[in-house]
Structure 1
Amino acid sequence: MIWSLCLLCVAGSLRAASAGPVRKTSKMEEKAAPQDEVNVLMFGVIQFSESLNYVYETTEAKIAKISQSLKSHEGTLQKLEQQTEQAAEVEKQIKGVIQLLQAQMTNQEAQTRITKDWLISMEKEEVALRKKVRRLEMYLNNSIPTSIKELQERAAEQSNILQDLQHLTQFQKETIETQEEQLSKLREMSEATTLSF
């Protein structure tokens, strides 16, 4: 736009200069261009200025479109960054849950092992007590009548202890079964969490 105004001013001054009175000399007549050539030249200058103006305007529009596209891309990049940060946070939380489940499984397995060992030792004690009870019964059958009452009391005492041990053993077996069920559930949760991750 500015170029076209400048060129119009130049063209106007050239016309004014050509329209003013000029003394004709022989040298001037030789150098002066005909009016048609000046008009053609001015028309070319005007067309050139219009072309420049068009190029300027189209370039400005293209730059505006590029700028708008860049802003749109910047918004998309910001959204992607936010989504990446959220995904990293979710991944961190999932890893924390997996570690917690693994720790719980390790503790549960250790408790189950301890309980199984204790149960094995209790079963051994039960077997030993049964042998003692049998020995006492044999002794009672072969002992003299005066010590029978004392031996019967001991046998009843041992029998009570044996029953208590049987109850305790049964309770421990149930505890182990419960712990194994919990371990199985923890394993399933851990596998499900790992698969979803």
Structure 2
Amino acid sequence: MWTVVCVSVSVCVLASGVSPSPLRTRRDAPLAKADEVNVLMYGVLQFSESLHHMYQSTEARLARVARAIHNTESVVQRLGLDTQQAIRTESQIKQGLSLIKEQMEVLQAEAQQTRGVVNRVEQEDTELKLKLRELEQNLSILTSPNRISALRETTQKHNTLLDDLTSWTRQHKQQLENQNLQLLELQKQSRVLQNH
């Protein structure tokens, strides 16, 4: 602002014909008219006001730009934090899925083993029932008291064995159902984690 005032004073002095140096004086130089000086002063004032207005508007623009840069930096910082959180979450999900897959493989192996055992027990159960029927038929044919007693003992042993096998089969079927339920639950959890 002071520069503008100094420039305007210098212009007025030059326009009035006064020498800027006090050592040189020109007496034959024509003096500027008052109207010309006024017009010149008015122009200088207009110029200084324009400069002042431009300075203020530039300062306001710079402040807006600084705010925009600050906001952008905040957004970038938040995005960086969100990205780090997403990476951590993805890692946790991958670990959870890996653990679930391992558990599913173990359960499937156990389920296959149990199915094999159950199938064998059911086959043995069927064979024992057939033998029992044959024994009952033979019992009706044989009328000897000793043979009847021996057949009864054999039948009782077979019945006891059959009851044990039936109980064992039920237990293994129950274990197989429990393992299947666990497997279904793990598959649901796996789908939920994969959807996230």
Q: Taking structure 1 as the reference length, what is the TM-score of the superposition?
A: 0.74
| 1:1-197 alignment, distance < 5 Å | 1-11=1-11, 14=14, 17=18, 24-25=27-28, 28-29=29-30, 33-135=32-134, 142=142, 149=149, 152-195=152-195, 197=196
Q: Are 1:3 and 1:52, in contact at CA under 8 Å, matched by a contact in 2?
A: no
Deviation, structure 1 residue 119: 0.6
For structure 1, list consecutive stretches of 5 or more residues without a partner in the other structure: none
How large is the Cα RMSD of the aligned pairs? 3.3
For structure 2, list consecutive stretches of 5 or more residues without a partner in the other structure: none
Q: Quickly say closer, same or farther: Cα 1:172–1:24, change in 2 above 3 A.
A: closer
Q: Are 2:114 and 2:176, in contact at CA under 8 Å, matched by a contact in 1?
A: yes
Hey, what's the Cα distance between the residues in 1 that align with 2:43 and 2:97?
A: 79
Q: Are 1:133 and 1:158, in contact at CA under 8 Å, matched by a contact in 2?
A: yes
Hey, what's the Cα distance between the residues in 1 that align with 2:158 and 2:177?
A: 28
1:48-87, Cα deviation, whole Å (9 max, x unpaired): 2332232122212211221122112211221222223223
The one-letter code matched in structure 2 to 1:161 is L
Q: Are 1:3 and 1:49, in contact at CA under 8 Å, matched by a contact in 2?
A: no
Hey, what's the Cα distance between the residues in 1 that align with 2:44 and 2:51?
A: 10
Deviation, structure 1 residue 6: 3.2
Q: Taking structure 2 as the reference length, what is the TM-score of the superposition?
A: 0.75
Aligned residues: 192
Moved more, 97-106 or 119-128: 97-106
Hey, what's the Cα distance between the residues in 2 that align with 1:128 and 1:56?
A: 106
Hey, what's the Cα distance between the residues in 2 that align with 1:39 and 1:178?
A: 105
Q: Are 1:108 and 1:179, in contact at CA under 8 Å, matched by a contact in 2?
A: yes
* Identity in percent: 33
Q: Are 2:17 and 2:32, in contact at CA under 8 Å, matched by a contact in 1?
A: no
The one-letter code matched in structure 1 to 2:157 is E
